[in-house]
Amino acid sequence: MGDSVPISMGRGSNKARFGQGGAAQFVNAYVEDMGEAGKTSFSAYAINGWNAFASLPNGNGVRRMLGVDDVLLAVANRLLFSTNAFGTAVTTIGGIPSDGFVTMAHNRKTPNKQVAIVCDGLWFIYEGGTLTQGSDTDLPPPIFVVESDGYFFFLIQDGRWFLAGPNEGLSIDPLDFAEAEASSDKNVAAAVRGRTFIPFGEKSAEFWDPNGDPIFPYSRTTAIDVGCYAAGTVANLLVTKGGTARDMVIFAGTNKEGAYAGIMALDGYQPTVISSPEVDRLVRDEPNKAALRCLAWTEDAHSYYTLSGTSFSTTWDGKTGEWHDRRSISSPRWNAGCVVQFGGMTLFGHQTSNTIANSLPDVFDENGSPIVWQIQPPPIHMYPKWFKVNTVYVDMITGVGLNSGNDDDDQPELVFDYSKDGGVSWAVARRIPLGGMNERYRRVKIRSLGRFDHNGVTLRFRCSAKVVKGLQQLAIDATPLKG
């Protein structure tokens, strides 16, 4: 037996291409930096839980939400719903007869703002409780809509975009359009950053700014040879780091040949790649890029961008620059299908059910379902030697059990196992008590793991109890062996 030695617990998810190269993974867990003020420089906490906010009748699968003053609009299934800041008085407004990707934006019309809704070439205007399907033949089938300065920007796949406004969405002038000037590629998506309109093509992006011209009020400022890989990956995110707030556009980018080139953050004219190799593999391996969807929101001083495919959800934390995975119980991905920040709340629409939920830091389950918090640190090794692990010390937040009558929550346990082959197979799991209510001095340690070769060992820690979950540091007592 020797002295305990601190070991890395990692800061997020970044699995190697092959398991033995590293299998670090944070699932439903994020890093919060403490700096010199904390016991450790950072801790890994569980993500917020969900409380039920509203149910949308016959609205299975919430596809998009938008807050307009004191009204929350939601497109779910093939219907448009409205509700209030309490999630009561849910009203079915009308039909959105298409199943594709939905975009929504509102202008500044008074007394009732207008909301433009675009899906699969169809467009609609919501105003004062009424939904009207657009039928102006001067507007070709749009694929995307955004708003700036009271103008709706309707994106057309062939490279054109049309203006409607200011503050009038039903009238389209056939001459109020522009098209990509720097490249002839097709349009994919659009964003607005500040007052700049950014249409993304398959291989390029352009920046258009207000010019004061009463005839056509926007002109192109510049262009870049970076396009958009999939429309559902584009989102705005306000990222605060080092005392500076930056209005970023996050998207899956392409190079000038149209090939995927990484998840990118744009806060000037040149984007920065923020994706890890693992995230890039997830995107490239997604069998249907049109199914990629993103969510962006700010919560508890963290700015999050989540990208989901058919079998994954991965989240970038703008506060730390790290990625972590999100996963709902019995699913390979997270149940969040869309997000809106409305009435001081962060609301998530369920991707397959008719529910909207409120995200709260003092809730530790997902609408009653457990949230499995999991930390899988980088591998431990003494290459080229073999070694024996005598004890693993786990600095968990303890004494957080409840008094609920549910044994799993009143006496929470840490589930521990390990892998000798980079996560391909795992040893029999052990259960270590974390202590009941106010048992804050409980020491969490795991003895006698055995011998490991030059490939090392990957540890895994999990907890699904509906309690505070946090890991502060790890240490081991290990003995190198001859050979």
In a domain, 315, yes or no: yes
> How many domains is the chain built from?
2
pLDDT tens for the chain, 483 residues long, are: 566 888 999 999 999 988 778 899 999 999 999 888 888 999 999 999 999 999 999 989 999 999 999 999 999 999 999 999 999 999 999 999 999 999 999 999 999 999 999 999 999 999 999 999 998 999 999 999 999 999 999 999 999 999 998 988 878 888 889 987 777 799 999 999 999 999 999 999 999 999 999 899 999 999 999 999 999 999 999 998 778 899 999 999 999 999 999 999 999 999 999 999 999 999 999 999 999 999 999 999 999 999 999 999 999 999 999 999 999 999 999 999 999 999 999 999 999 999 999 999 999 999 999 999 999 999 999 999 999 999 999 999 999 999 888 889 999 999 999 999 999 999 999 999 999 998 887 889 999 999 999 999 999 999 999 999 999 999 999 999 976
In a domain, 201, yes or no: no
Full domain range(s) for residue 467: 5-47+374-480
Q: Where among 305, 334, 363 does a domain terminate?
A: 334
> What is the reported pLDDT for 176?
85
In a domain, 185, yes or no: no
Same domain, 381 and 462: yes
Same domain, 238 and 288: yes
- C-alpha torsion sign, points 438, 439, 440, 441: positive
pLDDT in tens, 300-326: 999 999 999 999 999 999 999 999 999
In a domain, 402, yes or no: yes
In the numeric block, which tokens belong to residue 271?
């984007």
Judging by beta carbons within 10 Å of its beta carbon (0-12, 13-18, 19+), is residue 374 exposed, middle or buried?
buried
In a domain, 36, yes or no: yes
* Cα–Cα distance for residue pair 248/235, rounded to 1 Å: 8
Same domain, 252 and 303: yes
In a domain, 415, yes or no: yes
> What is the reported pLDDT for 3?
66
> What is the reported pLDDT for 324?
98
In a domain, 145, yes or no: no
> What is the reported pLDDT for 378?
95
In the numeric block, which tokens belong to residue 4?
């305990």
In the numeric block, which tokens belong to residue 364?
């530790």
Same domain, 378 and 474: yes
pTM: 0.96
Neighbours of 287 (CB within 10 A): 8
Beta bridge partners of 206: 223
Same domain, 391 and 476: yes
The CATH number of residue 33's host domain is 2.60.120.260
On whether the CB atoms of residues 166 and 159 are closer than 8 A, the answer is no
> What is the reported pLDDT for 407?
86
> What is the reported pLDDT for 272?
97
Q: Where among 310, 334, 358 does a domain terminate?
A: 334
Question: Which residues, 6 or more positions from 51, have their beta carbon under 8 angstroms from its beta carbon?
Answer: 357, 358, 360, 363, 367
> What is the reported pLDDT for 2?
62
Same domain, 264 and 328: yes
On whether the CB atoms of residues 57 and 354 are closer than 8 A, the answer is yes
On whether the CB atoms of residues 22 and 378 are closer than 8 A, the answer is yes
Same domain, 327 and 398: no
> What is the reported pLDDT for 38?
87
Query: How would you list the strands of the sheet with 160-164, edge to edge?
Result: 142-148, 151-156, 160-164, 177-179
In a domain, 466, yes or no: yes
